[in-house]
Structure 1
């Protein structure tokens, strides 16, 4: 067990360790151990697996973990093989006394996995795992943890895991993690229920853990007071308690003055204003807070990058407040102000991002409003070299330009389309809707209902 009674994270990981030990004792022969948790607790599960995979683990089980996405069985099996070989190669360098006799043979076989079909890859993976289990011995469970982030096809993923589990040797099991109510592995768990151990992880109250960590220290220290006040402000705002939020926000500003630092004080106005945005009929109050933050960083943004970043965020939040109040022109003006500041400082990523926000707003108006912004945004972004555009996503601006600029000739359209396809893939325009939705959500630009 983790011996750290004062560490909130360690305590929670210890809770998971206890649940693991309890369930392993009750179900020693399961082939699938599925830990089901709240989304906020997912990182705790990762921490538990990392701990158990290290020399500091509390069980005798041998735990390994692999992170991947899932698109299809072939790529999935291929990844598992390559990653196993790669991971062991690194570990073997640090532990030269390890003597997995078949490793060299599997390493040679892995060089040709790109030409193997789905079944060949699956069988190679099973042979590899079986050999590794013989290498580590039969006394302990070998638990293979699969952290699967993006899932392209849930049904096929369930089939792939079932294909593996049915062929695993004795003493080897898969460890899966799922969110409560997501039920990704329902089909698998139902079909293999006699071989499954479902471990329900109670809500570990990670918000409370973070608050405990943030507020540890001398209770008279302004920084400790500030962190506690910040958490309390967030809780008050989430509960819709406007009067309490205002009281705590003013306390936050007061504490920021005690701590000092222009950027820090301005960020406190930004935080306070950000929490107040959600409250009805507080637009004037929000603008007042954000304007005070702007007044602080405006004299220093050219010399201090931190002040520049906060200045952009302050204008973005002012744009958000305007959009909440259906003042599209006001929102556009704020985002375009941020564009000018970012251009002045040659912050190219920020320039394109601010153009995105301005364009999202302007498109809610007529052509006279959005066309100048669209042309300016496209001209700026398209002039950037490919190396930068691979990092700075221009697809929303480019797609909108192709859609709205009817005067383009076919050769110019083809040239733009080809360049975007080369940069972002053939489906670059399909991803534009996703990007637009992400931009909308990022600064809550949708009108309040």
Structure 2
């Protein structure tokens, strides 16, 4: 990590505070970071950094993104993901074993997973964590299990799960770490419930100032630096709902990147400017930016600019999203299909699946005659993905919907194929699980790329 990066300095601030607070309360077993929502990426970056070989804290951090479905299945899901991560880290383990006498027997926990009948495996999880700590080298007899679930279906149940583990007794040398929000306090416990076991850490940080500083880092005449500054200022104008100021900085972004002669950068300025304006749905500048930016990206692609091809894919999605919010649904479906086909052609699998899902959902609601054809293409696009990409992507919704279709059509071979794979990944109740995940999910309106911000730069 670049120590001079202003975001990296915030991560260093978290590291320093962690050392001070945990040293002051060695009995703590449950640590809660209390943050503002916009700070989430910085804290996630801290957890992932400390879980890598580049971490600087003395504890061994393990960060798990395991979905929380319910309190009865979460421990088993964590054990399964832990062992899967362990199996995929053999290169790192070999390096560790060359330097230390680290050996850990995973067999008891694999056997426990095979024998589970659906009853909670909280005791097995605690035993596994204690076993892992005992196997650590003497100088690293501390483990932090950082829980950052991709999805949480029931916050109250997750709190109950944490309470259960605290009551059973989290082993010495082990800490659970979660991220909670200021004023929400989903995972707050009163000290009387668990004396000396709780540690709450809140770190005041100037994230806005850090992003602004990062945006201005480097040569101010560098068009990339200037674009970063313009994007930051557009974001600030958007937050203030000042569309005139947004247009002023958007135009400056276009002027700066056009002078650079870099078509990828010039097209990026168009898509960032248009993305900001999506919050002002009727602004006439949006279609102009999308059409012009797409032409520039196409020219760059034809000239061999590697940055322009993924931009082309994004532009199709933005066109589709703009047509959708203008309620031109047939046009939106066509744009999303074109996006999916282009992304598939160039092996951008996640973008392709997002586009097929967008098109399928619109067809289901607005053009049912095309629905099953689009759904089938989405199913075919994602089937070759590895298991870990399927469980972490929108493809599970396409699979779920296509499963209902092939049941109606009595395509028994495909039914069995889907069942076999999804039962392996999610268990026998996979259909219910996917339905519950989807219920908790925010509906897609804009392309996912719209949500990208400069906050994560440098992590």
Query: Is the CA contact 2:233–2:249 (under 8 Å) kept in the aligned structure 1?
Result: yes
| Secondary structure of the structure 1 residue equivalent to 2:219 | coil
Name the structure 1 match of 2:358: 357
Name the structure 1 match of 2:279: 278
Name the structure 1 match of 2:336: 335
What is the Cα deviation at residue 201 of structure 1?
Answer: 2.1
Name the structure 2 match of 1:322: 323
Query: Is the CA contact 1:297–1:307 (under 8 Å) kept in the aligned structure 2?
Result: yes
Distance in 1 of aligned mates of 2:52 and 2:383:
41
Q: Mean Cα displacement is larger for which, 81-90 or 209-218?
A: 81-90
Q: Structure 1 residues 340 and 92 mapped into 2: Cα distance closer, same or farther (>3 Å)?
A: closer
Name the structure 2 match of 1:440: 444
| Secondary structure of the structure 1 residue equivalent to 2:314 | helix
Query: Is the CA contact 1:122–1:164 (under 8 Å) kept in the aligned structure 2?
Result: no
What is the Cα deviation at residue 335 of structure 1?
Answer: 2.8
Name the structure 2 match of 1:147: 146
| Secondary structure of the structure 2 residue equivalent to 1:34 | strand
Unpaired segments ≥5 residues, structure 1: 445-449
What is the Cα deviation at residue 223 of structure 1?
Answer: 2.6
What is the Cα deviation at residue 285 of structure 1?
Answer: 1.7
Name the structure 2 match of 1:447: none
Distance in 2 of aligned mates of 1:379 and 1:80:
34
Name the structure 1 match of 2:194: 192
**What do residues 87-139 of structure 1 show as CA deviations (whole Å, max 9, x unaligned)?**
89956854656457xx57x6786776657885874674476377568x737xx
**What do residues 252-309 of structure 1 show as CA deviations (whole Å, max 9, x unaligned)?**
0001112222232122211111111111531x32111111112223455467564343
**What do residues 124-163 of structure 1 show as CA deviations (whole Å, max 9, x unaligned)?**
4476377568x737xxx95421111236741123212442
The structure number with the bigger radius of gyration is 1
Q: Mean Cα displacement is larger for which, 73-82 or 222-231?
A: 73-82
What is the Cα deviation at residue 323 of structure 1?
Answer: 2.1
What is the Cα deviation at residue 86 of structure 1?
Answer: 10
| Secondary structure of the structure 2 residue equivalent to 1:201 | coil
Q: TM-score, normalised by structure 1?
A: 0.73
Distance in 1 of aligned mates of 2:84 and 2:290:
51
Structure of higher RCO (CA pairs closer than 8 Å, 6+ residues apart) = 2
Structure 1 stretches of 4+ with a deviation exceeding 6 A read 52-56, 77-89, 107-111, 343-349
Note if 1:67 corresponds to 2:63. Answer: yes
**What do residues 401-424 of structure 1 show as CA deviations (whole Å, max 9, x unaligned)?**
676x7xx89663444433332344
Q: Structure 1 residues 249 and 382 mapped into 2: Cα distance closer, same or farther (>3 Å)?
A: closer
Distance in 2 of aligned mates of 1:296 and 1:89:
43
What is the Cα deviation at residue 11 of structure 1?
Answer: 3.2
Query: Is the CA contact 2:143–2:174 (under 8 Å) kept in the aligned structure 1?
Result: yes
Q: Mean Cα displacement is larger for which, 215-224 or 271-280?
A: 215-224
Query: Is the CA contact 1:34–1:177 (under 8 Å) kept in the aligned structure 2?
Result: yes
Alignment coverage as a number of residue pairs:
419
What is the Cα deviation at residue 40 of structure 1?
Answer: 4.1
Query: Is the CA contact 2:254–2:270 (under 8 Å) kept in the aligned structure 1?
Result: yes
What is the Cα deviation at residue 228 of structure 1?
Answer: 0.9
Name the structure 2 match of 1:374: 371
Unpaired segments ≥5 residues, structure 2: 449-459
Q: Mean Cα displacement is larger for which, 245-254 or 338-347?
A: 338-347
| Secondary structure of the structure 1 residue equivalent to 2:59 | strand
Q: Structure 1 residues 21 and 65 mapped into 2: Cα distance closer, same or farther (>3 Å)?
A: closer
